[in-house]
Structure 1
Amino acid sequence: MKANKITSCYVGPQISPEQFVQEHFFLYLSKGIMNGYDGNKHYTLRAGESCIVRKNRLARYNKQRENDEFGKVIFIFDESFLKGFQKKHLIDFRNHAQKDAFIKLKKDKLINSFLLSLEPYYNNSGKITTAFADLKREELLLIILQLHPELSDILFDFGIPGRLDLEEFMQKNYKFNVSIERFAFLTGRSLSAFKRDFRQIFNDTPNRWLVKRRLQEGRFLIEKKKQKPADIYIDLGFEDLSHFYFAFKKQFGYPPSAMRQENANG
């Protein structure tokens, strides 16, 4: 039996649905394709591949079904669990620099064997029974650290993000649909310091600037790249198409459809 026969399974605390990774997690794709983006790089995970997704990162991912199927296995390595694991096991730190939000893991029989061992434990909802959940998380983490000892530097770093260049960070990450509090945290600032520094740099409030910056990019994509509003509004950070249309018309005085018509006539 192959590991890609496993149906979806989820172990650990729930993670936020927003585009901010609150806790490290292991992701194995059993069926389909997943595309990810962290503001710097694009990633593709295919059936049979696995990765670690890092905490305190902005990340966006979408799934593609294959033969109308998509399956994944997720193990959340939250800070409480990791601190307990660190106390129990001797951790070897390697001082390995790694900036990517998605860290692809080696294909290995240990991971495949572990995934196959899950089958007797999870129920129809894809949840491992509570009695075995932490034991299986511990087993998986031991395997990952044996294959990638350098990941100890990432998984057991319990610090908070340091102070970053705010202008550079926002110009790179304005498309992510997260709260102002998240942006403040990721740039190493309190909310009040973030708002103060933001106004000094951009001469505007964060919320107004984000909407205008996203709309500027949307206008460019429609006018110059001939893209459709329905294809870009999510990637620009808008929650629904109607909000994008409303904000666009308010900002520029005409709806995106007017530009589409102009492109067609041109």
Structure 2
Amino acid sequence: MEHPVVHSCYLGMDISPEQLISEHFFMHILEGTIVGYDGGRQYRYEAGDTFIARKNHLIRYTKIRKKEVFNRIVIAFDETFLRSFLERNPYASGVSDQEDSLLTVRSSGRIEDFLQSLQPYYEGDQMVDNGVAQLKRAELLQILLEEDPRLADVFFNFSDPEKVDMQAFMNRNFRFNIPLERFAFLSGRSLSAFKREFRHLFHKTPGAWLTRRRLEEAHFQIRHANRSPSDVYLDVGFENLSHFSFAFKKQFGKSPQALVKER
């Protein structure tokens, strides 16, 4: 029996390629695997798994293709849509006690029926027009809220991130290659306050501290975890291998490749 060609299905706005999740989104894996890391926890989702990625959280993920294929259903819950939904469907909400960047959605009959209703859009040639997309997004959101009322605290909290302990925050998130403005925002501070408090705590500029902290982590990973420089540099927040190698040699007096040979 010949299987139909499966394509990904998107409803709502595009997902940002940034490591900072700019809007909440729902994802169901059709084919392939996602492995994610948020600075404190590893996540792994296989075909058939479903999760919610949370706005204003950091995540770095790798898509593992099965036979060169990775397909998923992605439904975005951007703030404009959520505010409109809340006007029609009042929900009380507070501050969520859930800290994870990705929240696993348990399989249920209602979720499975909903995903089945999207089958013509990812297995066939039908296109989702905007009106249908809005209705399907609202339908899914209603199901999620009824099955887990705690999600109201996740979706309907429109405030900026609260002020957090900067030292713990930076030591958790230094591997993420994002602008200082993003670090400041996520820590609950203006950029000027972030820079001022940072220098007071770490006695360095944010840029200098981030470079040194990333290099120290890379040194540990190469020396003690037997990882190669080409596997490490992206994980610790560098954009390219040549810049990483130059900075590493300047910091430690030897290249990453020389450190590999000393193991």
TM score, norm. by length of structure 1 = 0.91
Deviation at 1:126, TM superposition (A): 9.8
Deviation at 1:83, TM superposition (A): 0.3
Structure 1 residue 12 corresponds to structure 2 residue 35: no
Q: What are the residue-to-residue correspondences of 1:252-263 with 2, within 5 Å?
A: 252-263=252-263
Q: 1:95 to 1:262 in 2, by over 3 A?
A: closer
CA distance in structure 2 between the aligned counterparts of 1:262 and 1:121, rounded to whole angstroms: 55
Alignment partner, residue 145 of structure 2: 145
CA distance in structure 1 between the aligned counterparts of 2:162 and 2:115, rounded to whole angstroms: 36
Deviation at 1:95, TM superposition (A): 6.7
Name the SS for the 1:200 alignment partner: helix
CA distance in structure 2 between the aligned counterparts of 1:66 and 1:122, rounded to whole angstroms: 17
CA distance in structure 2 between the aligned counterparts of 1:135 and 1:204, rounded to whole angstroms: 51
Q: Could you list the runs of 4 or more consecutive aligned residues of structure 1 that deviate by over 4 angstroms after TM superposition?
A: 92-96, 121-127
Name the SS for the 2:29 alignment partner: strand
Tell me whether 10-19 or 93-102 shows the greater mean CA deviation: 93-102
Q: Counterpart amino acid of 1:177?
A: N
CA distance in structure 2 between the aligned counterparts of 1:239 and 1:126, rounded to whole angstroms: 39
Alignment partner, residue 226 of structure 1: 226
Q: What are the residue-to-residue correspondences of 1:26-37 with 2, within 5 Å?
A: 26-37=26-37
Q: What are the residue-to-residue correspondences of 1:56-75 with 2, within 5 Å?
A: 56-75=56-75
CA distance in structure 2 between the aligned counterparts of 1:136 and 1:59, rounded to whole angstroms: 26
Q: 1:133 to 1:21 in 2, by over 3 A?
A: same
Deviation at 1:120, TM superposition (A): 3.2
Q: 1:204 to 1:96 in 2, by over 3 A?
A: closer
TM score, norm. by length of structure 2 = 0.92
CA distance in structure 2 between the aligned counterparts of 1:100 and 1:108, rounded to whole angstroms: 21
Whether the 8 Å contact between 2:39 and 2:59 is mirrored in structure 1 is yes
Name the SS for the 2:150 alignment partner: helix
Name stretches of at least 5 consecutive residues in structure 2 with no aligned partner: none
CA distance in structure 1 between the aligned counterparts of 2:9 and 2:189, rounded to whole angstroms: 36
Deviation at 1:142, TM superposition (A): 1.1
Deviation at 1:124, TM superposition (A): 8.3
Whether the 8 Å contact between 1:35 and 1:44 is mirrored in structure 2 is yes
